[in-house]
Amino acid sequence: MLALPCAARAAAGPTVATLDWALLETLLAMNANVVAGAELRQFIDVAVEPTVPAGVTDLGLRGIPNFEALYHARPDLIFNSNFYLANEARLSRIAPVETHSIYLPGESPFAHSIQATRAIGERLDLPSGVKMIERLESQLGSQTRILAGGDGRPVLPINLGDARHYRVFGSDSMFGEVLARLGLTNAWTGATAYTAMAPMGIETLATMPDAWIILIPPHPADALDALGRSAFWNALPPVRDGRVLTLGAVNPYGALPAAGRFANLLTEGLARAWNG
């Protein structure tokens, strides 16, 4: 059992736990009384925000959590998703379980995130859920106006697997949905599987010469160095013309907090690049 010393706890109300990162970031952003989550050190690296408060128990791997640690964390309620339904029977022996699924094939993770945020806010009697939705809608509206003055080029959000492969996020991903809400065009128009397609060969980037390439960490440590030495990479029009942005890390399977973070980083990066 591992408690992470990150930020002071101020939450009250029912104690809650979850294995799902999208639900975890939602609960943390709402200032719910989170007592346990899974793979917290990696969550901190990948999601970055919201901050994980001090004292939250790390349950280990999301797929095979430490049920004893969860029991000792004493949650009043456990939030689960479709990704971890195999654990639901064991979870329900520890505390009541409510399931909210954000990522379903062919469905909108943005819409499901709004539904889940509203439902969790009502369940925990936290008005911060509705406020989160309202803040994000206002943020996206402001950023849409900022980006309307851009160069009109499509945007390609990708995550590197290595120097020769990447995964691309389609229109049904959270990143793809944010692009649409910001009035931007996703350069990837092909099919995806569960919001992303991987592995894609780096040579396929040559079919999207007009795009802005948006690199979303985390990437393997040596991938960017290897690309920098690649003649093919450096000959790509987006690379040659300086149309490559590397953002901060964002949880690709996050909820509204991830959507807001991605929108912030992308808007700041594009606006800075356009203004020279």
Domain count, the chain: 2
The pLDDT assigned to 12 comes to 73
Q: How far apart are CA 246 and CA 56, in angstroms?
A: 31
Q: How far apart are CA 11 and CA 1, in angstroms?
A: 21
Are both 147 and 266 inside the same structural domain?
yes
The pLDDT assigned to 9 comes to 46
Q: How far apart are CA 32 and CA 34, in angstroms?
A: 6
The pLDDT assigned to 5 comes to 37
The pLDDT assigned to 1 comes to 37
Judged on CB neighbours under 10 Å (0-12, 13-18, 19+), 234 is exposed
Domain end among 42, 75, 101: 101
Are both 153 and 250 inside the same structural domain?
yes
Examine residue 249 and state whether it is found in any structural domain, yes or no: yes
Are both 20 and 87 inside the same structural domain?
yes
Are both 159 and 263 inside the same structural domain?
yes
Examine residue 246 and state whether it is found in any structural domain, yes or no: yes
The pLDDT assigned to 11 comes to 57
Secondary structure element (H or E) that encloses residue 196, with its range:
strand 196-201
Are both 96 and 220 inside the same structural domain?
no
Examine residue 68 and state whether it is found in any structural domain, yes or no: yes
Are both 90 and 144 inside the same structural domain?
no
Give the residue numbers spanning the domain of 140: 136-274
The pLDDT assigned to 2 comes to 39
Examine residue 124 and state whether it is found in any structural domain, yes or no: no
Phi, psi of 162 (to 5 degrees): -160, -165
Judged on CB neighbours under 10 Å (0-12, 13-18, 19+), 201 is exposed
Whole-model pTM: value is 0.93
The pLDDT assigned to 4 comes to 40
CA 178 to chain centroid: 11
The pLDDT assigned to 8 comes to 40
Are both 85 and 194 inside the same structural domain?
no
Q: How far apart are CA 204 and CA 105, in angstroms?
A: 24
Are both 156 and 70 inside the same structural domain?
no
Strand-pairing partners, residue 214, are 157, 245
CATH code for the domain of 200: 3.40.50.1980
- Average pLDDT along the chain, 276 residues, taken 10 residues at a time: 41 90 98 98 96 96 97 98 96 98 93 98 97 98 96 96 93 95 95 78 95 94 90 96 96 97 98 90
Examine residue 116 and state whether it is found in any structural domain, yes or no: no
Are both 197 and 91 inside the same structural domain?
no
Are both 143 and 215 inside the same structural domain?
yes
